[in-house]
Amino acid sequence: MGVVLPFEEKSSDPEASLNDLVALVETGMERVNAMILSRTGSDVAMIPEVANHLIASGGKRLRPILTLATAQLCGYRSAEGGRDGDVKLAASVEFMHTATLLHDDVVDESDMRRGRVAARIKWGNQASVLVGDFLLGQAFKMMVEVGSLRALDILSSAAAVIAEGEVMQLGAAKNTETTEDEYLAVIRAKTAELFAAACEVGPVLAERPKSEAAACRSYGMNLGIAFQLVDDALDYGGTSAALGKNVGDDFREGKITLPIVLSFRRGNAEERAFWRRTLEQGEIDESRDLDTAIGIMRRHRALEDTIERARHYGAIARDALALFPDAPMKRALLQAVDFCISRAR
């Protein structure tokens, strides 16, 4: 323990990918996917329809992967003697995430989610709220089946913190004067907390000492922050010149993210007036304002520095795992940090 291996000294790898991590949890994830499918079942037909619209649309399932991975890292033997605590907790984590997305769409009045029309557009706000509630209930049922009060404590606390973070964000919405610290408090709660909880329940299931649970929690928390910051930068096309097709969603929704926080603070009076008009008053000229916004961000290196901040949290995440001995799973988790950050290039 505590041995720092050369691998950990390496900075982010341009070839970084999630492949190793995904391969290491492959059989577990098959069982998670089967569990997810069976627990969205209901005689009420609308429930599997709405739930699967979102769940089947993919996403990387990073959160449940992290639960399986940290459990495995800490020596939890799944499927041994019929134990599938990691699979059930991983499925719970994905349900909590899906419930949050369903409720977020209602809160943000979003039309799209993961490249598909949002559930609330197809089935209405009502169905999104209620199916979210159903998934949350099912998530807790699965956790209770696992029977670990510590895991229950971690995940139920996360549920309250996430909702608190979302309300915090609502309060800060459209406020261009949001500070970097305030913004960090929001993403810690609304995004990183679930990553942290997903990683913390692994060692808890394996009944490992507190130091390992704290290490995995710290890994998840900082990975989650880095993940969200990179997402924020990607929404403005990252640092590359080529813009993907989903660029500008945050801008059009008036979301205050770190690139905005940095640009606003570093900007001149004219630029601040631009941010106030577009984000606070919501007066956006679709044809010109996004280009202007990205131009201002480039001038102030706001996207580069957002990714620089992400790299900082990524480094903390990597160091958090230092107390674990070298192993394929540890290497795969370190690589996942590099992957999350290298997405932005």
Neighbours of 150 (CB within 10 A): 14
Selected binder of a second copy within 21, 73, 118, 131 (CB under 8 A): 131
Q: Does 41 bind a second copy (CB under 8 A)?
A: no
Amino acid at 14: P
Give the Cα separation of 139 and 118 in Å (integer). 22
- Give the residue among 318, 338, 341 at the shortest CA–CA distance from 330: 318
Q: Does 53 bind a second copy (CB under 8 A)?
A: no
Selected binder of a second copy within 160, 179, 207, 345 (CB under 8 A): 160
Q: Which strand (E) or helix (H) includes residue 116?
A: strand 116-117
Q: Does 37 bind a second copy (CB under 8 A)?
A: no
Q: Does 46 bind a second copy (CB under 8 A)?
A: yes
DSSP letters, 250-315, are HHHTT---HHHHHHHHHS-HHHHHHHIIIIIS----TTTHHHHHHHHHHHTTHHHHHHHHHHHHHH
Closer of 186 and 223 to a second copy (Cβ) = 186
- Whether 151 and 143 have beta carbons less than 8 Å apart is answered as yes
Q: Which two tokens stand for residue 75?
A: 């020596």
Closer of 143 and 334 to a second copy (Cβ) = 143
Q: Does 164 bind a second copy (CB under 8 A)?
A: yes
Q: Does 239 bind a second copy (CB under 8 A)?
A: no
Residue 134 Cβ vs a second copy, minimum distance, rounded to whole Å: 4
Q: Does 163 bind a second copy (CB under 8 A)?
A: yes
Q: Does 253 bind a second copy (CB under 8 A)?
A: no
Q: Which residues bind a second copy (CB under 8 A)?
A: 42, 44-47, 103, 106-107, 125-127, 129-131, 133-134, 136-138, 140-141, 143-145, 147, 149, 152-153, 156-164, 166-168, 170-171
